[in-house]
């Protein structure tokens, strides 16, 4: 047992905890760490150096998601992010943020950590359980930056451990904000670990996303190869495991048949060079298709394709339960809409991102404004679904992870 401000912290005796960044001493000292102001000079200086090292690192350049993260951390980018918060209000971090990173998205933990830092906090991060080279690269560069800016060492503790409630209990008890990226089951499990009375929590539950493509505008564009690459990045880069990944393509317009043929062929040509489908993935996709056919009271048709790299399933109606059958590994549902309003059944509380190409974003926004569904937190261009923002899933991360010091 250890005391923190008179309270007793549960301390696991035997654990499978591994320190990836930081150590026992950093952890011990973190209990007494002080918060920073939001968008502090210390945080911006740290991120500026982090960005420079990532963007100049040869290994980083092999991974687009790592490069994108490095670009996002640039000083000019951070200063732009800070603009909405420059209201002369005194805001400080809540102090310690405990992050549970998702197991299936490599770079998410780094964005979560940076958001907490910009909000003025130290971070304890449980890294993804799945092995990603991108995680190793980012952790290595974090260590390099800390070596040059040792005053920031106490603000970062990156750890790995399995399903260990004792460790969850410890970090949940000492944190001031808990951030859970991992879906419903992970949220349920972590909520068995109590927090301090004044601690708050940000949860990112299971979500789904879809895209809308205007067929006529698509046929007019000369850069169809780039569109294929953008859609690939939105989907195959995370194997459709990210909540932001489109699971269904909604087509609108007149020349839809022609547009569909070209779009999917372009995607196939690109994916064949960049993605390797495992046999078990192909079996899972077919199993999911059979389940849809057996359980849904709508017409379902699997489109003939060259192989199993892309599985296309045309549906005759958009049901609010349709996304219960979402699948990864290149499994896409398709629907032809005569009016954008037909997407409303998909926009339930689990709907996160609507991406688009060839239509006006205002048209989508107007539908959301008119019908006010429980879901839809983001409307972004195709190819931009994974662009991280300090407002995510409807949370303002800076304001949620900080506190305002007011005066009369």
The pLDDT tens digits for 137-192 are 999 999 999 999 999 999 999 999 998 999 999 999 999 999 999 788 899 999 99
Residue 1 clears pLDDT 60, i.e. is over it: no
Query: What residues contact residue 55 under an 8 Å CB cut-off, 6+ apart?
Result: 67, 70, 71
Residue 5 clears pLDDT 50, i.e. is over it: no
Residue 12 clears pLDDT 80, i.e. is over it: no
Residue 104 clears pLDDT 90, i.e. is over it: no
- CA nearest to 96, candidates 119, 118, 115, 124: 124
Across 293-297, average pLDDT: 94
First to last CA, the chain: 41
Across 78-91, average pLDDT: 88
pTM, whole model, 2 decimals?
A: 0.88
What local confidence, expressed as pLDDT, does residue 236 receive? Answer: 93
Q: How far apart are CA 66 and CA 46, in angstroms?
A: 17
What local confidence, expressed as pLDDT, does residue 127 receive? Answer: 96
Residue 381 clears pLDDT 90, i.e. is over it: yes
Residue 103 clears pLDDT 90, i.e. is over it: no
What local confidence, expressed as pLDDT, does residue 148 receive? Answer: 97
Which tens digit of pLDDT belongs to each residue from 47-75?
999 999 999 999 999 998 999 999 999 99
| Tokens linked to 397 | 């991360």
Give the pLDDT band of residue 6 (cuts 50, 70, 90).
Answer: very low
Which of 4-18, 73-87, 164-178 bottoms out in mean pLDDT, i.e. has the lowest?
4-18
- Chain mean pLDDT for the chain: 93
Which tens digit of pLDDT belongs to each residue from 198-256?
999 999 988 999 999 999 999 999 999 999 999 999 999 889 988 999 999 999 999 99
Which tens digit of pLDDT belongs to each residue from 252-284?
999 999 999 999 999 999 999 999 999 999 999
SS3 per residue for the chain:
CEEECCEEECCCCCCCCEEEECCHHHHHHHCCCCCCECCCHHHHHHHHHHHHHHHHCCCHHHCHHHHHHHHHCCHHHHHHHHHHHCCCCEEEECCEEEEECCCCCCCHHHHHHHHHHHCCCEEEEECCCCCCHHHHHHHHHHHHHHHHCHHHHHHEEEEECCCCHHHHHHHHHHCCEEEEECCHHHHHHHCCCCCCCCCEEEEECCCEEEEEEEHHHHHHCCCHHHHHHHHHHHHHHHCCCCCCCEEEEEEECCCHHHHHHHHHHHHHHHHHHHCCCCHHHHHHHHHHHHHHHHHCCCCEEECCCCCCCCEEEEECCCCCCHHHHCCCCCEEEEEECCCHHHHHHHCCCCEEEEEEECCCHHHHHHHHHHHCCCCCCEEEECCCCCCCCCEECCEEHHHHCEEEECCC
């Amino acid at each position: 047992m250890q005391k923190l401000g008179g309270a007793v912290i549960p301390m696991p005796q035997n654990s499978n905890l591994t320190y990836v960044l930081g150590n026992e001493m950093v952890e011990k000292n973190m209990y007494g760490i002080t918060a920073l102001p939001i968008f502090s000079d210390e945080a911006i200086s740290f991120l500026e150096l982090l960005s420079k090292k990532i963007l100049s690192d040869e290994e980083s350049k092999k991974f687009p998601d790592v490069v994108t993260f490095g670009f996002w951390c640039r000083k000019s980018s951070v200063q732009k992010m800070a603009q909405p918060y420059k209201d002369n209000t005194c805001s400080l971090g809540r102090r310690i943020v405990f992050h549970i990173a998702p197991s299936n998205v490599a770079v998410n933990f780094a964005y979560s950590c940076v958001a907490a830092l910009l909000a003025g906090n130290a971070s304890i991060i449980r890294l993804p359980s799945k092995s990603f080279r991108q995680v190793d690269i980012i952790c290595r560069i974090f260590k390099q930056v800390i070596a040059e800016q040792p005053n920031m060492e106490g603000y970062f503790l990156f750890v790995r451990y399995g399903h260990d409630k004792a460790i969850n209990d410890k970090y949940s008890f000492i944190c001031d904000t808990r951030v859970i990226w991992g879906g419903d089951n992970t949220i349920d499990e972590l909520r068995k670990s109590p927090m301090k009375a004044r601690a708050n929590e940000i949860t990112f539950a299971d979500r789904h996303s879809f895209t809308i493509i205007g067929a006529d505008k698509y046929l007019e564009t000369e850069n169809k190869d780039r569109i294929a690459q953008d859609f690939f990045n939105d989907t195959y880069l995370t194997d459709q495991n990210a909540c932001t990944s489109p699971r269904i393509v909604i087509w609108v317009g007149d020349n839809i048949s022609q547009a569909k043929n070209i779009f999917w062929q372009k995607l196939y040509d690109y994916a064949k060079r960049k993605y390797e489908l495992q046999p078990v993935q192909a079996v899972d996709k077919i199993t999911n298709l059979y389940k849809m056919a057996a359980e849904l009271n709508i017409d379902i048709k699997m489109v003939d394709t060259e192989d199993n790299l892309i599985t296309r399933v045309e549906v005759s109606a958009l049901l609010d339960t349709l996304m219960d059958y979402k699948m990864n590994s290149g499994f896409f549902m398709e629907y032809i809409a005569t009016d954008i309003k037909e997407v409303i059944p998909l926009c339930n509380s689990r709907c996160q991102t609507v991406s688009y190409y060839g239509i006006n974003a205002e048209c989508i926004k107007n539908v959301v404004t008119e019908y006010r569904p429980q879901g839809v937190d983001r409307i972004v261009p195709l190819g931009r679904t994974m662009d991280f923002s300090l407002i995510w899933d409807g949370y303002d991360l800076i304001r949620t992870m900080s506190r305002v010091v007011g005066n009369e």
